[in-house]
Structure 1
């Protein structure tokens, strides 16, 4: 037993995570649970593998909690030396090793107790991931108080995401919501990406990004409340609605090139795009749908994109705020320059109106 803590391990509250120095988080849930969502930056040292967890769950449902606990202990005992090795490596590299499971129950308690018995002092997140999630959703509103958004709005393909990436490369404060969601926020939003993000993971990533940018003005893209399969948290959405809106514009040629660049990077994008078009067949009508399928057959992808921009995206386009200026993005670097000037104008009182008049 540790003399320092007067107990096998020490529990910490979720808010204390952000006060620890030199910390590593260890998620001991199964690999599948970890993949679905985890605290950003955490490493996975699973107490049970996916099939083992399924078996324990089956035993629990059919034979009761005692037998399930016995089976869990049997499976874990055979891995203790490997667990010790992995936690020892982490403990040698980091001052604080924090273990968590889903609700801070038997898995994290058992792991911390076992490692303590073998001479390793660990910390345990009280309440597990669930407590962490409850905390960040409450705390997000507080963090947002010190942030004001410059919201880039504009039609599909004008280059908003490209501009955000360039701004970030130049050290400007940026939060890329579509990158966090792994979706571009439309019926074609996931084409060519090949990843999915759960709501829990999105919220955690968004909170960490808000903490990263700190306070002040931050560039974001204008999004609807839903991005693919995830929703923007209420506190973030309300702050975005009160942001300063800038409309990005570009020629049809630029828009087509941007979409080709964004959507056609990953193998298999064409079939994903065909399936996406099928989902809007009712909106397009049979004649326009058949025309698109013909374009796919002859690999005329530029025409597919141009047609979808004119007949689908532009007709469904909706702005969520009134832009104070317009910036052309046919030249992305020049667009970034203008946006940085606008950022500076907002940072220094009295210049916003002049910039807005120039932009009209």
Structure 2
């Protein structure tokens, strides 16, 4: 049988094909980017075996598992594993701790004539490796943060840098009350795993100086891991500047046009439904900051948004969206960011437009 010893770092860096034999509920709670769930037992079967284990012990639980996964059901699962193994001969299988479940799957594959390696230590060991790797990066790497007013294009700057780590990309959220996408955010563990793998990739490429966007602790519903967040609070800031006109246009593109395109993908045959989803998204996003805006200001900006949506929906004219965007920037986001910059002024080491900031960060 093939060697089960593994280098977790190389597996994750090289995106080695993985199949996860844990139950779907375990896989949904957290997995690795690109891993495929081909469970030994489904959720119901796993629950039954777990109950049996608590009441009657390991031997009885194993016997029950063999009865539950037998006959045609067993054959179909082995066929799925074999298909993956033949398609990805360089891959690995794993369970939670690299114990009984992965050993059994490995044995059943061997009985079918396929030797396939498993990851000793399983998901738990690789997850521990990632947590330790992030702790090490937070203490060993130097960080710089790109800061700036809303709409200056901080993400665009990160995309031009080979040593950047994009927290918002991994969180699948733009980091503001309007930052949701049409599709859900990842779970916390999936967010962390993908984030740390990108950090590992940057370090493997020789970068121990990393550039991130200046973010709060929470990006949507994803929490930036505490060691990284604490390191970010000590990092120097590079302040990105852009004109008000450019910022307004960028927000119109990101929060209106791109979001409309995302909802259109979800409703390919129903443009009215896609536009209704966009309208609900924008209005509910504004509602989430109602208390911070104050009732009168919220009503006024909401009226501008509703007028813009009416013109957008009836004539396809998106220009009026600039009115509520401008009001939101001038009356809410810009004062908030100005206050934040004042508090962080001693950490600002450079200010400039996108080209100047990229040149500085590459220097």
What per-residue deviation string (whole Å, max 9, x for no partner) do you get for residues 83-138 of structure 1? 44444444445554321223445432321222123232222233432222222111
What per-residue deviation string (whole Å, max 9, x for no partner) do you get for residues 199-222 of structure 1? 111111111101111123332111
Q: Structure 2 CA distance, aligned partners of 1:38 and 1:177?
A: 18
Q: Structure 1 CA distance, aligned partners of 2:147 and 2:66?
A: 55
Q: Structure 2 CA distance, aligned partners of 1:275 and 1:68?
A: 49
Q: Secondary structure of the equivalent of 1:202?
A: helix
Do residues 54 (structure 1) and 79 (structure 2) align?
no
Q: What runs of 5+ residues in structure 1 fail to find an aligned partner?
A: 329-334, 346-360
Q: CA RMSD in A?
A: 2.9
Cα pair 2:45 2:65 within 8 Å, conserved: no
1:1-360 mapped onto 2 (5 Å cutoff):
2=1, 10=4, 12=5, 16-19=7-10, 23-31=16-24, 33-48=26-41, 52-54=42-44, 56-57=46-47, 60-61=50-51, 72-77=65-70, 78-92=72-86, 94=88, 96-144=90-138, 147-165=141-159, 167-168=160-161, 172-190=162-180, 192-214=181-203, 215-264=207-256, 265=258, 266-267=262-263, 268-299=277-308, 300-317=320-337, 318-319=340-341, 322-328=347-353, 335-336=354-355, 338-345=356-363
Cα pair 2:144 2:238 within 8 Å, conserved: yes
TM-score (norm: length of structure 2): 0.77
Do the aligned partners of residues 71 and 293 (structure 1) sit closer, same or farther apart at CA in structure 2, a change above 3 Å counting? Answer: farther
Residue correspondences, number = 321
More helix by share: 2
Q: Secondary structure of the equivalent of 2:118?
A: strand
Q: CA deviation at 1:183?
A: 1.2
Q: CA deviation at 1:68?
A: 6.6
TM-score (norm: length of structure 1): 0.78
Cα pair 2:15 2:34 within 8 Å, conserved: no
Q: Structure 2 CA distance, aligned partners of 1:80 and 1:341?
A: 59
Q: Structure 1 CA distance, aligned partners of 2:50 and 2:362?
A: 60
